[in-house]
Amino acid sequence: MSSPIPLADATPPIADAGAPPTPEAWAAAFAVALPYDRFLDRHATPEQRERWNAFQARVSLTDAQRTLLGGFVRRMPVLVLAGAWCGDCVNQCPIFAEFASAAPAIDLRLLDRDALPQIAAHLKVCGGQRVPVAAFFSEDFTPILFYGDRTLSAYRASASAQLGESCATGAVPPPADAIAAVVSDWLDQFERVHHILRLSARLRQKHSD
């Protein structure tokens, strides 16, 4: 899905954002990205913000999911390439905010798709600049996982319904059971990354645990 209005104040290119970017380049991109609420304050219109808030109010984590997230101990920087205008972001990014609220170890930042094209170019899906895409890193910005733009359950639902548009407006939110399925899909990825970080011999040696 294309942004309706390109940003005019894109941040200048950053060093070492080649193929692939270095950990320093990823760290620089993460530093430019914004925490969830600040991202919306800067990039969302009032109508868009209302949609994001309305969807977040419908996201419900189970006690087991909150316990799982609360047990994360490794710092997990998560850089989400997003667009305030994108319905797929409306219906997924608030889930990440709920995860981060339940897990202080998750360091969540959102980057507007058009802010750093040289970084966004490395987060394409099937050759297209899809959003949202989540990039998971270790504490020293070694890449762990890139995942987007919809989860498997969401793609199954889209395929079943034979939707024509590749990215909805977010005006019509999914049903509660569909939201729960996407929450579970995304939590699987966050949990997997945490296990990778927690069991990393390099990080265990560094933290003496």
155 with 91: CB under 8 angstroms? no
pLDDT digits 0-9 by tens, 79-106: 999 999 999 999 999 999 999 999 999 9
This prediction has a pTM of 0.86
Region 16-31: what's the mean pLDDT?
A: 91
Q: What is the residue range of 146's domain?
A: 23-207
Separation between Cα atoms, residue 84 and residue 72, nearest integer Å: 28
Give a yes or no: residue 12 inside a domain.
no
Q: What is the pLDDT of residues 106-165, one digit of tens each?
A: 999 999 999 999 999 999 999 999 999 999 999 999 999 999 999 999 988 888 775 555
Question: CATH no. for residue 90?
Answer: 3.40.30.10
Give the H/E segment covering residue 26.
helix 23-32
Q: Is residue 97 part of a domain?
A: yes
Categorize the per-residue pLDDT at 174 as very low, low, confident or very high, splitting at 50, 70 and 90. confident
155 versus 42: the higher-pLDDT residue is 42
Stretch 25-29: mean pLDDT: 96
Position 8 in a domain: no
Q: Is residue 127 part of a domain?
A: yes
In a domain? residue 18 = no
Total domains in the chain come to 1
